[in-house]
Structure 1
Amino acid sequence: MNPKITNSFFALIFCASLSYCNQTAKELEVPAEETQHANHTPKMSEGAVIIQDQPEPDTLRGSLKAEAHGMVGNAHLTINYHSPAVRGRNIWGGLVAYDQVWVTGAHSATSLTTDKDITIEEKLLPAGKYALFTIPGKEEWTIIINKNWEQHLTDDYTEKEDVLRVTVKPEAAAQPQERLRYQIVSEADSKGAINISWDKLKVTVPVAI
């Protein structure tokens, strides 16, 4: 066989193999943004704690500064709040009045931060930081996302600053929860939920991107 033809043949094979390898590497390459979120380690605020399952009372006094972090799809969500305890009190319809705007925490407004646009019950919420209020009811709760996250309790709350409102159904919790707890739960297909648990009640707020 002609040496020139042989060399040309092997050169073509080499180039084809190199092209295939490069293409395969690109297909397997994970976007930098996805890698960043997959390896994301939340930065806790000074003095904040993550509230866990807590069926029994504790000996701590007052409402604890707390945070919840989680991913929904590639969106990182953070909830900053203060967590009061039951301490043997009547919560629903007692300490927390029905049909009134509630801070859903204590001291300062509870805040929700998302670094990506998300939807709550299919309503768009642009990336940013917001206040999260609720109106608890016996049969349903209104979830309120409001522009003014920097306020004491609901002192400066005004409905005209609401970004969105949705209604959800409360349900009985699997076990009592002594301290108010927020959880951000990740599910399949870029969906998830914000869970609010306190006393013997749980509220689930669907979230997606």
Structure 2
Amino acid sequence: MKKLVLMVFAFTLMVSVNAQIETPQPSPFQKVEQKVGLTDITLEYSRPAMRGRTIFGDLVPFGSMWRLGANANTKITFSDPVTIDGQELKAGSYAVYATPNESSWDIVFYTDSNNGGLPREWDDAKVAAKTTVETQALPMDIQSFTMTFDDVTSSSVHLGMLWENTYVGVPIEVPTDKKVDAAINRVMSGPSAGDYYNAAVYYASEGKDINKAGEWMEKAMSMVEKPAFWQLRQQSLIYAKMGKKDKAIATAKKSLAGAKDAGNEDYIKMNKDSLKEWGAM
């Protein structure tokens, strides 16, 4: 019995060691990242090779949907909403599929990006965008399926696909102008309530100019229609540090009422403790 147990252990160990051997994949994985304007785009796909085979019209039949590579589906991820052929895709990840034809390809961006190739059950409701692009003949063979980011500008890029003697480029527009305009308007309109609030809390917590902290906090609160109880709590503490006890008490009472409405026991206790300390309870 003991010998049998030792033999089983030895066999298990041998299998475990053998399982650690890594060999090259016939269709190696590639990850490509590209910044287009202010938008980050990430592409993940696998790269089959020609190996003497005829690809389009044979290995990849015309008129049939293709996973656009090998292994799992090709996945593309956008950090911002983008536009493809007039169709807006939300920020996020998409599977990319293609139906090659002799002179054009139909390209689909599919919201379910976790498939081992094509989805088992196709769902038209998951098609986020669909476009048709013309093919371009190449003067040489591309041995390994290749995807690229071509013709990069501050507001657009072409998602390129090359294999055998065929090139296809899908134009993608990114919202650079919209993002820059929003940033310009935000900066030119001056600091926000959050900017004033954060600056005030930092100055107070770091023992810097407390009067400046009080000025910034009042500015922040004047820009907020209904300050939250946690914001009022910080303002009351700043008033207390400034020696403005009456204002500190009045503000703490507002914070306490807001904390009670929100059912926040921590802030209820903190405000009560401060009010007791300041002689208001």
Q: Same fold (TM over 0.5)?
A: yes
SS in 1 for 2:50: coil
Per-residue CA deviations over 1:63-100 (Å, capped at 9, x if unaligned) read: 01112221222111111111000011010010001111
Using the alignment, how far apart are the partners of 2:151 and 2:79 within structure 1? Answer: 15
1:194 to 156, 159, 163: 159
Using the alignment, how far apart are the partners of 1:165 and 1:156 within structure 2? Answer: 19
Q: Which has the higher contact order (CA 8 A, sep 6+)?
A: 1
Normalized per residue, which structure has more strand? 1
Is 1:124–2:88 an aligned residue pair?
A: yes
Correspondence 1:19-168 to 2 at 5 A = 62-160=26-124, 161-168=126-133
TM-score (norm 2): 0.51
Q: Is 1:71–1:186's contact at 8 Å kept on the other side of the alignment?
A: no
TM-score (norm 1): 0.68
Sort the Cα spacing of 1:107 and 1:125 in 2 relative to 1 into closer, same or farther, 3 A: same
Aligned residues between the structures = 150
Sort the Cα spacing of 1:185 and 1:71 in 2 relative to 1 into closer, same or farther, 3 A: farther
Using the alignment, how far apart are the partners of 1:181 and 1:89 within structure 2? Answer: 16
Which protein shows a greater Rg? 2
One-letter code aligned to 1:117: P
Using the alignment, how far apart are the partners of 1:126 and 1:83 within structure 2? Answer: 27
1:56 corresponds to? none
Normalized per residue, which structure has more helix? 2
One-letter code aligned to 2:100: P
2:135 to 170, 176, 182: 170
1:203 to 155, 161, 168: 168
Using the alignment, how far apart are the partners of 1:125 and 1:144 within structure 2? Answer: 12
